[in-house]
């Protein structure tokens, strides 16, 4: 098996990210963080250019009118960041996978803790969400139960 670098993103005003490499020996340590400057279009592009992932999993943004009626704020800048990632993937022939926001719910805070993947700190909420999208892709699309097994200790 060749190495594969998988990256997951939770785009928005603060864009959470995480990535890890999978090889014959399993997964490397997961690295994570948040891009939280007001306008981080260039920083996101530069990060993708530096890391050069093989697959990018990204949370989709779906506008629903009922969100506004319920008083939920809508961050339209998420669409801009998704566009940046989509363009980078197209130009670099990298697989781009959109996931729906509820997909990450499979990985609760408790499961992240039991798997040893909890990212502490209030400012890391979006990095944790990127981690959840990463784990959802690994367990459902790649059918790799490595991290699920860690929750059963």
For residue 84, the model assigns a pLDDT of 97
Q: Any idea how long the chain is?
A: 153
Which two tokens mark 75? Answer: 């961050």
List of residues 6+ apart from 135 with CB closer than 8 A: 104, 106, 107, 115, 117, 147
CA pair distance 120, 50, nearest whole angstrom: 26
Q: What is the pLDDT of residue 38?
A: 86
Q: Which domain holds residue 81?
A: 4-150
**32-76 tens-digit pLDDT:** 999 998 899 999 999 999 999 999 999 998 765 555 666 665 657
Give the residue-averaged pLDDT of 133-152.
95
> Which pTM was predicted?
0.89
| Mean pLDDT score, 27-32 | 92
Based on the structure, what is the number of domains in the chain? Answer: 1
For the domain that residue 100 is a member of, what is the CATH number? Answer: 3.30.420.10
User: Which stretches of 15-136 are DSSP H helices?
Assistant: 41-51, 65-69, 77-92, 109-114, 125-136
């Amino acid at each position: 098996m060749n190495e594969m670098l998988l990256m997951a993103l939770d785009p928005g005003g603060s864009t959470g990210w995480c990535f890890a490499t999978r090889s014959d020996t399993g997964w490397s340590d997961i690295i994570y963080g948040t891009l939280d400057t007001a306008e981080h279009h260039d920083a996101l592009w530069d990060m993708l250019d530096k890391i050069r992932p093989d697959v990018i999993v990204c949370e989709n943004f779906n506008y629903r009118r009922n969100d506004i009626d319920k008083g939920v704020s809508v961050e339209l800048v998420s669409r801009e960041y998704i566009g940046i990632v989509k363009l980078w993937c197209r130009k670099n022939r990298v697989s781009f996978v959109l996931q729906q926001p509820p997909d990450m719910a499979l990985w609760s805070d408790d499961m992240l803790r039991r798997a040893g993947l909890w990212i502490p700190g209030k400012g890391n909420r979006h990095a944790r969400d990127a981690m959840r999208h990463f784990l959802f892709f690994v367990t459902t699309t790649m059918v790799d139960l490595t991290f699920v097994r860690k929750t059963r200790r």
